[in-house]
Amino acid sequence: MEAHKALGRGRPTKKAAAGAFMDASATSKQTDASQTASQTASQKSIVEKSGASKPGEPRRPRRRAPPPQMPANDYNIVVRPRDGLNLSVCSEAEIADCIRKTLRFPDTTTITDVVQVNRAQNLVLISTPDEGRAKTYSSLSEILLHGKSYKVSPYVTAPDDSAKGILHGIPGYDTQADNMASLQNNTPRVLQARRLGTTNSVIIVFEGPMVPHYVKYRGTLMRCLLYKKKIEVCSICRAIGHRQDICPTPAVKLCQKCGQDNPLQEHECEPKCVVCGGPHMARSKDCRKRFATPPIIRRRRLEQRVSQSPQEPTPHKGGHPQRPSRSKERKRQEPGAARSRSRSLSFPPLPTKPRS
**CATH (domain of 174):** 3.30.70
223 and 245 inside one domain: no
- From 274, 292, 310, give the residue that closes a domain: 292
Whether residue 216 is contained in a domain is answered as yes
220 and 241 inside one domain: no
Domain that holds residue 90: 70-157
186 and 259 inside one domain: no
Amino acid symbol at 196: L
Distance (Å, rounded) from C-alpha 16 to C-alpha 10?
12
97 and 149 inside one domain: yes
Residue 193's beta-bridge partner residues? Answer: 204
- Based on the number of CB atoms within 10 Å of its own CB, is 50 exposed (0-12), middle (13-18) or buried (19 or more)? exposed
Whether residue 170 is contained in a domain is answered as yes
- From 124, 157, 190, give the residue that closes a domain: 157
Each residue's pLDDT expressed in tens, for the chain with a length of 356 residues: 454 444 445 555 555 555 554 555 555 555 555 555 555 555 555 444 444 445 544 455 566 677 777 777 889 999 988 887 888 888 889 999 999 999 988 878 888 899 999 887 888 999 999 989 998 998 999 998 888 889 998 888 888 788 899 999 999 999 988 999 999 888 899 998 988 878 899 999 999 888 999 999 999 999 999 888 878 788 788 888 777 777 777 778 888 788 888 777 777 888 888 888 888 888 778 888 877 777 767 777 788 888 887 665 555 555 555 555 555 555 555 555 555 555 555 555 556 666 65
What pLDDT is attached to residue 58?
46
109 and 173 inside one domain: no
- From 271, 292, 313, give the residue that closes a domain: 292
Whether residue 259 is contained in a domain is answered as yes
| H or E stretch at 168 | strand 162-168
What pLDDT is attached to residue 289?
80
Distance (Å, rounded) from C-alpha 38 to C-alpha 41?
5
241 and 186 inside one domain: no
177 and 249 inside one domain: no
Chain centre distance of CA 6: 79
Q: How many CA atoms lie within 13 A of 46 on its CB side?
A: 6
Looking up residue 138, the CATH number of its domain turns out to be 3.30.70.330
Distance (Å, rounded) from C-alpha 327 to C-alpha 306?
30
Q: How many C-beta atoms surround the C-beta of residue 274 within 10 A?
A: 16
88 and 127 inside one domain: yes
92 and 113 inside one domain: yes
Number of domains in the chain: 3
100 and 166 inside one domain: no
Phi and psi based region of residue 147 (left: phi greater than 0; alpha: psi -120 to 50; beta: remaining): left
235 and 221 inside one domain: no
Exposure string over 168-207, b if 16+ CB within 10 A, otherwise e: eebeeebeeeebeebbeebeeebbbbebeeeeeebbbbbb
Sequence-separated (6 or more) residues with CB below 8 Å from residue 253: 261, 262, 263
Q: How many CA atoms lie within 13 A of 190 on its CB side?
A: 25
The size of the chain, in residues, is 356
172 and 216 inside one domain: yes
